[in-house]
Amino acid sequence: MSPEGVLSGGLQGPPAELLLRDVHVLDPRAGIDRRLDVLVRQGTIAELAEPGAAAGESDAEVIEGGGRLRVLPAFFDPHVHLRTPGQEHKEDLDSGTRAAAAGGYCGVIAMPNTEPVLDSAPLLRSLRDAAAREARIPVGFLAAITRGLQGEQLTEMAELGQEGALGFTDDGEPVESAGVLRKALQYQRLCGGVLALHEEDRSLSRDGVMHEGALSAALGLDGIPTVAESTMVARDAELAGYEDARVHFQHLSCSASAQAVAAAKARGWRVSAEVAPHHLLLTDEAVRGMNTSMKMHPPLTGEGDRAALVEALRDGTIDCVATDHAPHAREEKEVPFEQAPMGTTGLETAFAALYSGLVMPGALELPVLVRRMTAGAELFGLEAALIARDRPAELVLVDLDERWTAGEHGWQSRSENCCFSGRRLQGRIQLTLAAGRLVHRDRAPALAGAA
Amino acid sequence: MNHLLSIEELDRAGIERIITQAQRFEEVSEREIKKVPALRGRMVLNLFYEASTRTRSSFELAAKRLSADVVNFAASGSSVEKGESLKDTVLTLSAHKPDAIVLRTPWAGASELVSRWSSAAIVNAGDGKHEHPTQALLDVYTLQRRLGSIDGSSIWIVGDVAHSRVARSNVLAFQRMGAKVTLAGPPTLIPRGIEQLGCEVRYELGELHTADVVYALRMQNERMRETWVPSLREYATWYQLNGRRLAPSQVLMHPGPVNRGVELSGEVVDSPQAVITAQVEAGVVVRMAVLYELLAAARPRQAPAATAPREHEAARVGEGQLA
């Protein structure tokens, strides 16, 4: 991943000087799963040595891992809402990237459904300038596919691409017209970049506020049927296949969508997909108390869908985890369920929630989770973090034994609408290095010998 | 009981307690001076975000017959139209220290939410398409008076189930009282998964004759524009309850207001088998019973905010004042 290229920000602090002594390094891409010393010099991984063998500079901080603390490649989230410009009361470039750093991320991609919508090159330029100044970790941007997310006229995608858009999306809104989407897919041959798709047939989802099922029937809340998503995934996969275009399906929520992606991949179409932690861990049962933090799009689905998504993530049908971090102010969420905006925050809890909820019970292997939490970079043409000599330091130090309660000490995010709030979690990020900088240090570090 | 938010949270004993209390109040309605001092000095706030004639006036009458002070607050023409949130409205009105807030909103779960913001007893008078518990209680009351008991009876609820809070509350209440419930209506207006409440679902009225009680739901005109059914004419052809479909022994109920010629034909509305007027009458005594249960008979309530408990008040208004 190259921050100077298409990502902005993350270069505020000095390059890190750090010796992580006797830590358990796990990096499936690098083929490492063993105890090592990791020496970071001038923000670069200078040495991977046998435990106790590496010698840092005299002024470098030394952290003793005791063979127990883990070092993983830092995560990458291809789907976050940083709410800038226009909705800075929910989140801004600083608070959003602080939240990401606290969650162990070395890079995120921000969605363009801002106010105004990110649909012109001058706006992208100014936003990238702002990110260069304010973002704690590198941020990439997707620009809108259609002007104002109206689903009608294409944006100036080629110019946006030149200005550094990593791709295009109307996230929050589906591209309803197959004809408009087809033109965007064709235009991709000129402008490049990935087309990321929010799949929803509005004629099916209508005014729905939760998953359609027995619970929506009992609560008298309008349901969103899973076919509202899966029929659009199937349609757009076929369009992408026909145009030989590269598309990425955002926040899959049901079994049928995962099957449509598997079928598309089997036909050799260039598709990829992401899934959010809440869809892997929660079901519509969580909506029973009408807690508005449980209201998001797509909605939490049934147990069968949840289990199918875990399996699809495990077998690689779904390529990566993306949080769809969607902050909303307290007063916006403190309303009746039907009135509340869709979305949950997720950056600060993703790893611990998935480790506690999937890895510990044996539903997912830790190396697979690490791969899926880092793969988002590759899907958008960036290099994933790699723990190897001479690579920029993009890594996290994790205590897999530490138990904590989500939100107990507040949040780095400006908003607190987290669906995992109050949950007991295990596994805590101690340090995050992004772009060779130390961007997060846990407030109550369990680090023996920390300077 | 601290609040009445839903039938879901009531068990059979809880329903029966309110019904029994309502029976005691029946006598009050027969008096020349229809008033008892049970809630004298208490304040009941009617907070209505939706238009309602019969529910609001029924609550108002019930509160007045118990000698409570009543304040009506309608959202239209109020600060709500200036953009005040539900929370701020409730906090503001709570400053007047109402003992009970009767709340009607178009939003599911709003009563539960308000119960967290106010120390008043909350009565759900309809929350979106979720529940309308006092309607279900008055329907149980009406049926018990007519049938003696509804244990083991078969009750069909016919019509637009999807948009009906009455249907949800009544399915639960009738089942808790031992009835077997069948929902019938056009497939587009029966929500997927509703049978998991434990009721049967029918799309035709062929077996309607097996019902002891037929409960018709209001078919709203605006549903036509949203094309839930092709036309009112077709709806009436398949689902209208009329002299041909109903046997004289079957009890006919409707929450009102009735669309004559749509869900019900004129002749059945006026027939002796219809208990629609009795339902309206029952509304007052059942709501008296609910307010009494919450404000006079209740154990001291746990206030959610920093409000002092009200033991002294609970002790002051005892059951003795009723007689």
User: How much is the ipTM here?
Assistant: 0.89
Domain A74-379 fold is TIM Barrel (3.20.20)
Least confident of A21-30, A44-53, A307-316, A442-451: A442-451
Q: Do A335 and B129 touch (CB under 8 A)?
A: no
CA distance, residue B66 to nearest chain A CA (Å): 31
Which residues on chain A are in Cβ contact (under 8 Å) with B130? 219-221
Residue B318 has pLDDT above 60, yes or no: no
Question: Which of B163, B194, B228 is best to mutate for the A interface (most A CBs within 10 A)?
Answer: B194
pLDDT band at A444 (very low <50, low <70, confident <90, very high): low
Quick one: pLDDT at residue A356? 98
Q: What phi-psi label fits residue A381: left (phi over 0), alpha (psi between -120 and 50 degrees) or beta? A: left
Predicted confidence (pLDDT) at residue B317 exceeds the cutoff of 70: no
Q: Which long-range contacts (CB under 8 A, 24 or more apart) does A355-361 make?
A: A355/A400, A355/A425, A355/A426, A355/A427, A356/A424, A356/A425, A356/A426, A356/A427, A357/A280, A357/A281, A358/A280, A358/A281, A358/A310, A360/A426
Q: Which of B87, B112, B168 sits opposite A290 (nearest CB)?
A: B112
Q: Which of A217, A290, A339 sits opposite B193 (nearest CB)?
A: A217
pLDDT at residue A269, as a whole number: 98
Q: Taking residues A412-434, what's their average pLDDT?
A: 98
Distance separating alpha carbons of residues B99 and B182, to the nearest angstrom: 38
Q: Each residue of B9-58: pLDDT tens digit?
A: 999 999 999 999 999 999 888 888 889 999 999 999 999 999 888 899 99
Do B242 and B145 fall into the same domain? yes
- Give the DSSP H/E element, type plus range, for residue B112: helix B110-117
pLDDT of residue B298: 57
CATH number of the domain enclosing B103? 3.40.50.1370
Cα–Cα distance list, A120 to A127, A142, A149, B20 (Å): 11, 11, 12, 69
Do the chains contact at A213 and B192, CB–CB below 8 Å?
A: yes
Please report the beta strands in A28-86, taking only residues with DSSP state E, as ranges in sequence order: 32-41, 44-49, 61-64, 70-73, 75-80
Which one of B87, B108, B196 has the shortest CB-CB distance to A220? Answer: B108
- CA A232 – CA A176 distance, rounded (Å): 9
Which pLDDT tens digit goes with each residue over A362-393? 999 999 999 999 999 999 999 999 999 999 99
Tokens of A123: 């706006």
Q: Which two tokens stand for residue A62?
A: 């030394």
Residues of A contacting chain B (CB within 8 angstroms): 212-223, 225, 290, 331, 334-339
Amino acid at A343: G
* Chain A residue closest in CA terms to B90: A335
Helix (H, G, I), strand (E, B) or coil at A317: coil
User: Does the pLDDT of residue A3 top 60, yes or no?
Assistant: no
Are residues B257 and B213 located together in one domain of the fold? yes
Compute the average pLDDT of residues A409-420. Answer: 97
Q: How confident is the model over A161-207, as pLDDT tens digits?
A: 999 999 999 999 999 999 999 999 999 999 999 999 999 999 999 99
Residue B87: which of A223, A334, A337 has the nearest Cβ?
Answer: A334
Block residue for tokens 């068990």: B11
CA distance B129 to B136: 14
Residue B4 lies in a domain: no
| Tokens 């023409």, located at residue | B77
Alpha helices in A294-381 (DSSP H): 303-315, 330-333, 350-354, 366-374, 376-379
Set of chain A residues whose Cβ sits within 8 Å of the Cβ of B192? 212-213, 217, 223, 225
How far apart are alpha carbons A194 and B323 in whole angstroms? 77
Among A340-354, B128-142, B298-312, the range scoring the smallest mean pLDDT is B298-312
Write the residue in A213, A290, A335 that is nearest to B85 by C-beta: A335
Alpha-carbon distance of A247 to A257, in angstroms, equals 14
- Does the beta carbon of B112 lie under 8 angstroms from any beta carbon of chain A? yes
Residues B121 and B137 in one domain: no
Domain that holds residue B274: 133-278
Q: Is B191 on the interface with A (CB under 8 A)?
A: yes
pLDDT, tens only, B180-197: 999 999 999 999 999 999
Tell me what pLDDT residue B320 has.
Answer: 36
Q: Which of A297, A197, A209 is nearest to A254 (CA)?
A: A297
**B14: contact with A, CB 8 A cutoff:** no
pTM of the entire predicted model:
0.92
In a domain, B252, yes or no: yes
Topology match between the domains A18-72+389-441 and A74-379: no
Residues A439, A445, A446, A449, Cα dihedral to 10°: 80
Distance from CA of B27 to the nearest CA of A (A): 36
Give CA–CA dist A76/B206, Å, rounded.
60
Q: Is residue B5 part of a domain?
A: no
Element (H, E) at A430: strand A424-434
Written as six digits, the tokens of A242 are 């026909």
Interface contact A338-B108, CB threshold 8 A = yes
Contacts of B67 (CB under 8 A, 6+ apart): B35, B36, B37, B38, B39, B40
pLDDT the model gives residue B28: 86
Residues of B in contact with A221 (CB under 8 A): 108, 128-130
Ranking A102-111, B94-103, B296-305 by mean pLDDT, the lowest is B296-305
Contact residues for A109 (Cβ-Cβ < 8 A; gap 6+): A77, A78, A79, A80, A139, A140, A141, A142, A166, A376, A380
**Residues A349, A7: contact at Cβ < 8 Å?**
no
Quote the pLDDT of residue A5: 66
The answer, yes or no, to whether residue B319 has pLDDT greater than 50, is no
Query: What pLDDT score does A145 carry?
Result: 98
Active site positions of A, annotated: 324
pLDDT band at residue B224, thresholds of 50, 70 and 90? low
What's the mean per-residue pLDDT of chain A? Answer: 95
Residue A406's pLDDT is what?
A: 97
Tell which of B263, B278, B293 closes a domain: B278
Q: Where are the domains of chain A?
A: 18-72+389-441, 74-379
Q: Please report which confidence band the pLDDT of residue B206 belongs to, taking 50, 70 and 90 as the band edges.
A: very high
What residue has token string 């689905």? A301
Least confident residue range of A429-443, B54-68, B287-301: B287-301
> Number of structural domains, chain B?
2
Q: What is the pLDDT of residues B96-124, one digit of tens each?
A: 999 999 999 999 999 999 999 999 999 99
> Is A335 in contact with B87 (Cβ distance < 8 A)?
yes
Check residue B212 and give its pLDDT.
98
| Cα A290 from Cα B111, distance rounded (Å) | 11
Nearest Cα to B39, choosing from B218, B308, B287?
Answer: B287
- Asked if pLDDT for residue B313 goes beyond 90, the answer is no
B58 and B38 in one domain? yes
pLDDT at A30 over 80: yes
Per the rule left: phi > 0, alpha: psi between -120 and 50, beta: everything else, A172 is: left
Residue of B nearest to A209 (CA): B108
In a domain, B1, yes or no: no
Are A223 and B86 within 8 A, CB to CB?
no
H helix runs in A157-302, sequence order: 157-162, 178-191, 202-205, 214-219, 227-243, 255-266, 277-281
CATH 3.30.1050.10 assigned to domain A18-72+389-441? The reply is no
Across the interface, do B113 and A290 touch by the CB < 8 Å criterion?
yes
Tell me, what's the pLDDT at B80? Answer: 75
